[in-house]
Amino acid sequence: MDLYGRDLITSQEWAVEELEAVLDLAARMKADRYGPAYTSLLRHKTFFMFFYNPSVRTRQSFEVAATELGGHAQFLEPKAMRLKTAKTAGETVEDAAQVMSRYAAGLGIRILEDQIGAYGEGDALLREYARWGSIPVISMAHDKFHPCQGLADIMGWSEWFGAGPGKGVDPTVLKGKKLLLSWGHGALVRSWSSVQEAILIASRFGMDVTMAYPEGFDLDPQVMGWAKDNCRANGRTFEITHDSQAGYEGAHVVYARHWMSPQAYQDGQLQKARETEMALRYPEWICDAAKMALTDNAIFTHPMPVDRGSEVTDEVASGPRSCVYDVAENRLHVQKAVLALTMGGR
């Protein structure tokens, strides 16, 4: 399958067969991590990593991925570059993208909630770089989507319901399984990227999706509409509840995470204090052992960092049915596969 040069801004824009190709290669790379078949795929090639926001797993996993493929990942910060913004003069996206394309084999961009003035600006920036550049643009998490996290989620869940972590990936085992995406309270103000990607990719792979959140915390209506359409196309269900416990019934995968409200931005600014105050009003929205007991022996998943004691209790997050570390590891493997397929050559 030829994915050379393809942008990855959201999994929704790739065919299921293309996503399966990534997962298959990721599983083979995981099983033979330093095998000679993979260690020269990006020899002499550079992947630019454009970080508007800091990270833990994202920078580490992409740098390791490039190194293990024989390439190089170069860390870039916008504040260290003369780039044009709404308030400052500098180089335009058109010029920056054109020049970067002459240097590197791929470009990753990470831009989240506090580096934009309105929802959608991050997504628009990635698409502007993709428009002007001639190298693949990979989302390393932005305000709308987080495709590499979504692929790592599917890989991890498939391992748990299949032969086990590190023993191959068969995403068909997820068909008919129920994903509960539950809002969690806490002081962290989080974008919609990971949770929106989760409902999109889960619904593409035939899972039933239930969203549970307090009234007033809806996600992007267009994205929720896509997830509904995906479920409908697969003969599966998409449901919404505003009850903090009801969605746990019969769940196979529980994904408990905070996300901001649709009113998070005002006058071009993220209202962090207001969002935090709102979120802390709902202490009952925590994933705990009592709620997990209502499930069908579900696994607990989270993209990390985990807000322990707010989104989920330690008992669950570090319990025997938690797959958070397996999913975190799989970020490395799916990103190696994405870089190899989009940058390695035909």
Predicted pLDDT of residue 87: 64
> Amino acid identity of 342?
T
Query: Same domain for 73 and 182?
Result: no
* Length in residues, the chain: 346
Predicted pLDDT of residue 96: 95
Answer whether residue 86 shows pLDDT above 70.
no
Query: Same domain for 59 and 140?
Result: yes
Answer whether residue 325 shows pLDDT above 80.
yes
Predicted pLDDT of residue 262: 97
Domain annotation covers residue 20: yes
Count of the separate structural domains present in the chain: 2
DSSP 135-153: S-EEEEEESS--HHHHHHH
Buried b (16+ CB within 10 A) or exposed e, 254-264: bbbbbbbbeeb
171 neighbors 201 (Cβ within 8 angstroms): no
Average pLDDT estimate for 110-130: 96
- Global model pTM greater than 0.75: yes
Predicted pLDDT of residue 85: 72
CA distances from 26 to 31, 38, 68, 91, 215 (A): 9, 11, 13, 37, 38
Percent of the chain with pLDDT over 90: 94
Predicted pLDDT of residue 248: 98
Domain annotation covers residue 185: yes
Domain annotation covers residue 2: no
Q: Which two tokens stand for residue 307?
A: 């807000």
Query: Same domain for 84 and 204?
Result: no
User: Which of 197, 203, 212 has its CA nearest to residue 303?
Assistant: 197
Domain annotation covers residue 4: no
Owning domain of residue 213: 149-327
Query: Same domain for 162 and 295?
Result: yes
Average pLDDT, the chain: 96
Query: Same domain for 114 and 261?
Result: no
Average pLDDT estimate for 265-294: 96
Rounded Cα gap, residues 241 and 343, in angstroms: 42
Domain annotation covers residue 45: yes
Query: Same domain for 130 and 175?
Result: no
Answer whether residue 333 shows pLDDT above 70.
yes
Average pLDDT estimate for 158-163: 97
- pLDDT band at residue 225 under the 50/70/90 scheme: very high
Answer whether residue 187 shows pLDDT above 90.
no
Q: Where are the alpha helices (DSSP H) in 4-56?
A: 16-31
Query: Same domain for 267 and 163?
Result: yes
Query: Which region, left, alpha or beta, applies to residue 191 given φ > 0 means left and ψ of -120 to 50 means alpha?
Result: beta
Query: Same domain for 188 and 101?
Result: no
Predicted pLDDT of residue 10: 98
Query: Same domain for 194 and 317?
Result: yes
| 19-30 residue pLDDT tens | 999 999 999 999
CATH code, domain with 219: 3.40.50.1370
Domain annotation covers residue 6: no
Domain annotation covers residue 230: yes
Average pLDDT estimate for 283-305: 98
Query: Same domain for 314 and 284?
Result: yes
Query: Same domain for 91 and 225?
Result: no
Q: Select the more confidently predicted residue: 82 or 210.
A: 210
Predicted pLDDT of residue 345: 80
